[in-house]
């Protein structure tokens, strides 16, 4: 399976979990954990394998994706901290869902077609196999093993350090 097919399939899985979360409150706690594990694993494979392979294709989109992951991770941490019976729980589900929907739309409509044209089937299949293997490990290990504690640092902050620095030397210092 190609990297983009794998990621799109995972997007559908997450959409399905959100649908269940919105319709079946009796299983909210287990669904939030399932969502957290799937999103943590998905973000890990994008940040550690997929995005670094794309940095020379669309560097701007790659950095934007890291930032969207950081925001989603904070929203997910807030969702995990919410009491499933509280008034804010559903609001946090909705906010996270909207962040993820925006990110998925950009990836599937803009980034994936660009990547598929630039990398080709063989490279995408190679990346897909590597990503699937890491996804399975991370989803089994769980959210807590993939995501830094607290809110000051996210896995996106840690992962994007592997990106090569621009060659022109005009890079601004990150805040």
- The rounded distance, in Å, linking the Cα atoms of 150 and 122 is 39
Fold for domain 3-151? 1.20.120
In this prediction, residue 86 carries a pLDDT of 86
Q: Is the dihedral of CA 78, 89, 34, 101 positive or negative?
A: negative
9-53 residue pLDDT tens: 999 999 999 999 988 888 999 999 999 999 999 999 999 999 999
In this prediction, residue 161 carries a pLDDT of 63
CB 27 within 8 A of CB 20: yes
In this prediction, residue 170 carries a pLDDT of 46
Q: What is the mean pLDDT of the chain?
A: 88
More confident residue, 3 or 153: 3
Helix 28-45 with 112-141: angle, nearest 10 deg: 130
> CA Rg, the chain, in Å?
16
- The rounded distance, in Å, linking the Cα atoms of 138 and 8 is 18
Q: Which pTM does this prediction carry?
A: 0.84
In this prediction, residue 31 carries a pLDDT of 96
In this prediction, residue 126 carries a pLDDT of 97
Which residues, 6+ apart, have CB-to-CB distance to 66 below 8 Å?
A: 47, 51, 156, 159, 160
In this prediction, residue 24 carries a pLDDT of 80
Domains in the chain: boundaries: 3-151
């Amino acid at each position: 399976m190609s990297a983009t097919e794998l990621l799109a399939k995972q997007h559908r899985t997450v959409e399905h979990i959100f649908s269940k979360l919105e319709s079946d409150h009796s299983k909210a706690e287990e669904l939030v954990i399932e969502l957290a594990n799937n999103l943590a694993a998905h973000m890990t494979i994008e940040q550690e394998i997929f995005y670094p392979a794309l940095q020379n294709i669309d560097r701007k989109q790659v950095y934007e994706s890291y930032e969207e992951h950081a925001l989603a991770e904070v929203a997910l941490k807030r969702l995990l901290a919410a009491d499933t019976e509280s008034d804010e729980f559903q609001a946090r589900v909705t906010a996270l869902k909207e962040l993820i929907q925006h990110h998925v739309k950009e990836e599937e409509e803009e980034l994936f077609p660009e990547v598929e044209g630039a990398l080709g089937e063989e490279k995408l299949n190679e990346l897909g196999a590597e990503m699937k293997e890491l996804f399975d490990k991370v989803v089994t290990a769980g959210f807590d093993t993939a995501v830094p504690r607290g809110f000051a640092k996210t896995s996106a902050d840690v992962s994007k350090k592997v990106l090569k620095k621009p060659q022109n030397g005009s890079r601004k210092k990150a805040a």
